[in-house]
A and B are shown apart, each in its own frame.
Chain A
């Protein structure tokens, strides 16, 4: 069932240009480094020289001129020296134990960046170094020996049926391991923040961020100020991808602590080298599966260990792992599931949020394994998926019922048909000797949970407001007041589109001012593909309330009490056909009542039930669905390979702006291509080896394949307009599709990300397929 009653919408579904486009093409948009605040000093961080150890002393070089430098050490922190995220294990400034190379030991500020940097280099640090645990590989080796030897940051299980005994009944049991490495978000605008101490004691934080309401309250405890004295405002954001979800609390804290000390505005803009070395990355992962199947392709039992390398502190790792385990067996029918998720400490910067948030790691392994299972049953990858994929009415690995808006199996069937998978599968080279080029095609199919995991949305109760106000030029304007941020993905355009349709007006009468915690309620963070669905639907209902109030005002004051409707920008009286433009009615309202604010709050449908302790029930209120097919070509002389074509279908629910949505898919797939085969971070001497843009290589305009991309629309029925989120799903499935295609081309399987020619060469050598 594809629901497509478009008639109800005029603005939703239109590919209107971005509302911020004019500012961005003319250089007027103000990013964090663009503010000019008089008397600003520049901040820098004094960093630990070892990845693990005990700090014995920190002293300043007496030969350096400290007269123009302010220094903040742990003793200067007014409140608790704690970064309060999902754990309370991370200090703002290390004072005893050092858990990663570059951990802050002190903060400095000076009138120029040059002096601040010099000052930071003139500290003498005495540490007792200890052996560090640095890589996923080292961590997994210890885990296999004895997990108790690791420092556990988080753990969670999923249990359904009885996987252990069902495995014994299976015809075939496959045991496999897959790993994935770090990925850097590499937003082109580096992290940056300004903290301005105001006369009334307010600390004003302004800069590049995804989640203003993370910084407030997280910083209140450290700065020891009440929430109403901490004002957080978003600047234009030059890309984030999760990298500006939790990290900005740190840089905002550094700036604010220095601002308290100096009583001046403090600016910190990371250079690219600091940004790569000292900000979050996608968690490296190790997935270990034992899966039992019957000869006819039925999946009997799934056992999985999903282990994340958390880096030094807890931060958001538990929820990243939750999303990982919730996707690690998703998509297919199976009665017996047992998943153990773990996060362990390593001595690197804490790993964190990155588009997909654990799902890409989980699906990388799971969708690779699905191909291996199909082969083990003697089935093709498409037939195996078609046989097992979830349909409406089926249950998820946590026992959640897929009630409605299920784009499976349509996305799968449509993709297979569109790219002629079955025919092309027959043409794959499978490592045939004597050929110069090998061809392969590979598939992935997946769901991506929309909104917060588990009980997140129920606890969050996202709040939104719409303000009817008067613009500087005297005309009425409806301002969307949410804490959801525009970071390139289009929030600042789709939310006004939704508000416009809810009100029955043109989008030209709606605006989206940058979120400022002094002006907007807490709509929750801009993460988890939740903005279009959760915040969008709440805006829609707020818009309907505002519309009703305006209609009754116009009815009573201008239309003699006749029933009145605001539609297509006109207030229309039912009986005598009188009508006036929206601006006229709204101006009359403003003249008589003044500015008008409508609040609303998101409410999950009652049928969504979730047991957070046991992970049983509806893990997400809805799912986006996707299917990716990659075609690859391998040069058998060099083992180089390239993706020649990607075909994909996505069900993202109601499409609010098709051009923006397609932009998310195009950009997300190219980022996924980077994750799959280009982006590599190794750790040398405790440090990421690719620590600048020359060495951390992301896709350019000539690296992408031909793309054939489509949507199917299964709106989420519970709320209007029924979007399910598009931000993350494009990141989920390309890596396994490429690995599956590579196996079809070469006959060997790569189980570690990124997929590189070197790894392919090793595997081919091992399997003695390189004979030519």
Chain B
């Protein structure tokens, strides 16, 4: 049957070594082997974006990747967003602005938007809509997700401004 491959990867900041079949999907590895069930599977085909994780910092669809591809790479899942028990500002903004209803799509949106906000600290609504156009949400109609993202961007700018003393533009 399928041969096992040893992989060394880093998941949410912790080194992980595992033996995995060559055909095991990265999404299944994360959910079934590591039991990090915050990464959701909605379509298994790269369409909905619910399974999005960070792969060396880039948003990637774990349902379209194999676990062996994690070898030597860094993975961050939604469980890795909070630090020291504090939610990421984007998570806080999703709470505050109701950027979720059923929440099934939410981890995928968050993992798509975290790197986006790092690159676009001051996005306008159209840019945000474009950035999430590959993630499907059936509940919210997207407006609250857009609003949450804009709020997070503003708060992150303000925080950065407070730290380096520069004025946050709005």
**Which A residues lie at the B interface, using CB under 8 A?**
15, 17-18, 20-31, 33-34, 36, 185-190, 236-241, 271-272, 487-490, 659-660, 663, 666-671, 692-694, 698-702, 704, 707
Closest to B42 in A: A188
> Contacts of A190 on B, CB cut-off 8 Å?
42
| Contact assessment for B45 and A238 in the assembled complex, using a CB-CB cutoff below 8 Å | no
How far is A659 from B40 in the complex, measured between Cα atoms in Å? 26
> Contacts of A671 on B, CB cut-off 8 Å?
138, 141
Closest to A35 in B: B37
Interface pairs (13), CB distance under 8 Å? A20-B103, A21-B103, A25-B78, A34-B31, A188-B102, A189-B42, A237-B102, A271-B44, A669-B141, A692-B45, A698-B136, A701-B146, A702-B129
How far is A529 from B82 in the complex, measured between Cα atoms in Å? 36
8 Å CB contact of A666 from B77, B94, B143: B143
> Contacts of B160 on A, CB cut-off 8 Å?
none
| Contact assessment for A26 and B138 in the assembled complex, using a CB-CB cutoff below 8 Å | no
A433 to chain B, nearest CB (A): 33
> Contacts of A21 on B, CB cut-off 8 Å?
94-95, 98, 100, 103
| Contact assessment for B139 and A239 in the assembled complex, using a CB-CB cutoff below 8 Å | yes
Contacts between the two chains (Cβ within 8 Å), count: 167
8 Å CB contact of A239 from B96, B102, B129: B102
How far is A190 from B146 in the complex, measured between Cα atoms in Å? 25
> Contacts of B40 on A, CB cut-off 8 Å?
31, 188-189, 238
Instruction: Determine if B36 is an interface residue (Cβ-Cβ < 8 Å).
Output: yes
With A36-B35, A663-B101, A667-B101 as given contacts, are A24 and B44 in contact (CB-CB < 8 Å)? Answer: no
Q: Which 3 A-B pairs have the closest CB atoms?
A: A27-B38, A238-B104, A488-B102
How far is A659 from B140 in the complex, measured between Cα atoms in Å? 11
| Contact assessment for A693 and B101 in the assembled complex, using a CB-CB cutoff below 8 Å | no
> Contacts of A669 on B, CB cut-off 8 Å?
141
Closest to A694 in B: B47
Interface residues of B in 94-116 (CB under 8 A from A): 94-96, 98, 100-107, 110
Instruction: Determine if B39 is an interface residue (Cβ-Cβ < 8 Å).
Output: yes
> Contacts of B11 on A, CB cut-off 8 Å?
none
Closest to B146 in A: A701
> Contacts of A692 on B, CB cut-off 8 Å?
43, 45, 47
| Contact assessment for A189 and B132 in the assembled complex, using a CB-CB cutoff below 8 Å | no
> Contacts of B60 on A, CB cut-off 8 Å?
none
Instruction: Determine if B48 is an interface residue (Cβ-Cβ < 8 Å).
Output: yes
| Contact assessment for B144 and A663 in the assembled complex, using a CB-CB cutoff below 8 Å | yes
Interface residues of B in 139-155 (CB under 8 A from A): 139-146
With A236-B103, A238-B104 as given contacts, are A694 and B45 in contact (CB-CB < 8 Å)? Answer: yes
8 Å CB contact of A701 from B45, B78, B100, B133: B133
How far is A272 from B47 in the complex, measured between Cα atoms in Å? 11
**Which B residues lie at the A interface, using CB under 8 A?**
31, 35-45, 47-48, 50, 77-79, 81-82, 87, 91, 94-96, 98, 100-107, 110, 128-130, 132-146
- Interface of B, helix, strand, loop or mixed by DSSP: loop
How far is A190 from B104 in the complex, measured between Cα atoms in Å? 10
How far is A675 from B92 in the complex, measured between Cα atoms in Å? 33
| Contact assessment for A666 and B103 in the assembled complex, using a CB-CB cutoff below 8 Å | no
With A17-B98, A667-B139, A694-B47 as given contacts, are A29 and B129 in contact (CB-CB < 8 Å)? Answer: no
Task: Supply 16 further A-B pairs (C-beta < 8 A) apart from A692-B43, A694-B45.
Answer: A18-B95, A18-B98, A21-B100, A26-B81, A26-B91, A236-B102, A238-B42, A238-B104, A271-B44, A272-B44, A488-B139, A663-B144, A666-B141, A700-B142, A701-B135, A702-B130
8 Å CB contact of A187 from B77, B87, B102: B102
> Contacts of B140 on A, CB cut-off 8 Å?
663, 666-667
How far is A105 from B128 in the complex, measured between Cα atoms in Å? 48
How far is A187 from B48 in the complex, measured between Cα atoms in Å? 11
| Contact assessment for A187 and B138 in the assembled complex, using a CB-CB cutoff below 8 Å | yes
| Contact assessment for B110 and A25 in the assembled complex, using a CB-CB cutoff below 8 Å | yes
A647 to chain B, nearest CB (A): 15
Closest to B47 in A: A693
How far is A189 from B104 in the complex, measured between Cα atoms in Å? 6
Closest to B108 in A: A188
A577 to chain B, nearest CB (A): 37
8 Å CB contact of A490 from B42, B101, B128, B138: B101
How far is A218 from B65 in the complex, measured between Cα atoms in Å? 41
8 Å CB contact of A663 from B78, B98, B110, B146: B98
How far is A236 from B105 in the complex, measured between Cα atoms in Å? 13
How far is A671 from B129 in the complex, measured between Cα atoms in Å? 17
> Contacts of B107 on A, CB cut-off 8 Å?
27
